[in-house]
Amino acid sequence: MKRVDRYETISALISKQIRKGVKTNNFLTENDLKIEIENNSLYYYEYDGGLLILRDRTTHYILNYYINDITKNIEKIFEKDVVVEIVSRPNNNDNEVIKYFEKQNFACCIERVRYAHTCDEIVDNDTADAIQLCKTNDAEKVYEILKENFDSYTGCIPTKERLIKDVENGNVYIYKDENIKGILHIDKSKISSEIKHLIVVENEREKGIATKLINKYFNEVNAKKKTVWTGKENNCARKFYEKCGYELDGYTSVVLKKKG
């Protein structure tokens, strides 16, 4: 396993893997990869079966893959825990890849489902004066709240550096009066957007803060398609998103973990 110190290196390795039949979960952008390289947190492992890209999160690695030959096993190269998420499109369950990683001693942590929202109309103009775009001086507190409320392995918590960039890009909303009571963290492009994290701090729940954050998001983000992933067994979150007009779109995923 080698650390990546230049974008051109990983770009060339990925290009070598792009061929008919390749199986991949890598949707990292050039910017995503460059941020990891700047933080000295990007590694790769090239083997007979394909290419593994690993993002170091101190306690574990997040794995993205290109697999061209599922008969080739992965050597024991990991000195710490590894998590990998395998996404299946509608009516196309990727059991072959899941079984491949299970053969490599990965075990299921959580199953997720994806919801989509395509309504353009403004749901509620009253989105509360307390909701604002996060400023960089609040980024540290937002990071702490995310770490306190989401699982470090499966919660998709960004690095502090990535969160700051998301704040600078207007991708983090907060509900704040004296203190931060709610957070909405998104990723967006011109045509689509995705909720990465939505959290209301424990003693402020059931006061409508999450709904107000969602309404602010609907009113200000013009992406035609809005998506969100949530745990298959997280009935509370699922009911909330359905109440907000989200519907299942057929995408599912499985997160697997291997102990280092």
The predicted-structure confidence for 119-140, as pLDDT tens digits, reads as follows 765 555 555 678 999 999 999 9
β 60-67/81-88 pair status: parallel
| pTM (two decimals) | 0.90
Share of the chain above pLDDT 90, in %: 84
Of the candidates 19, 18, 17, which has an alpha carbon nearest to the alpha carbon of residue 46?
A: 17
Predicted confidence (pLDDT) per residue in 80-93, tens digit = 999 999 999 898 77
Tell me, what's the pLDDT at 98?
94
* Burial class of residue 64, CB neighbours in 10 A (0-12, 13-18, 19+): buried
- Check: CB of residue 44 under 8 Å from CB of residue 8: no
Of the candidates 59, 10, 16, which has an alpha carbon nearest to the alpha carbon of residue 35?
A: 10
**Where is 226: in which H helix or E strand?**
strand 225-231
Provide the 10 A C-beta neighbour count for residue 90. Answer: 11
CATH architecture of 131-223: 3-Layer(aba) Sandwich (3.40)
Spell out the SS3 assignment of 87-155: EEECCECCHHHHHHHHHCCCEEEEEEEEEEECCCCCCCCCCCCCEEECCHHHHHHHHHHHHHHCCCCCC
pLDDT at 221 over 60: yes
pLDDT at 95 over 90: no
What is d(CA 180, CA 159) in angstroms, rounded to the nearest whole number? Answer: 20
Kindly state the average pLDDT of the residues 152-167.
94
Residue 257 DSSP SS3: strand
Tell me, what's the pLDDT at 118?
79
Q: Domain-by-domain residue ranges, the chain?
A: 2-113, 131-223
* pLDDT tier at 189, thresholds 50, 70, 90: confident
Tell me, what's the pLDDT at 91?
80
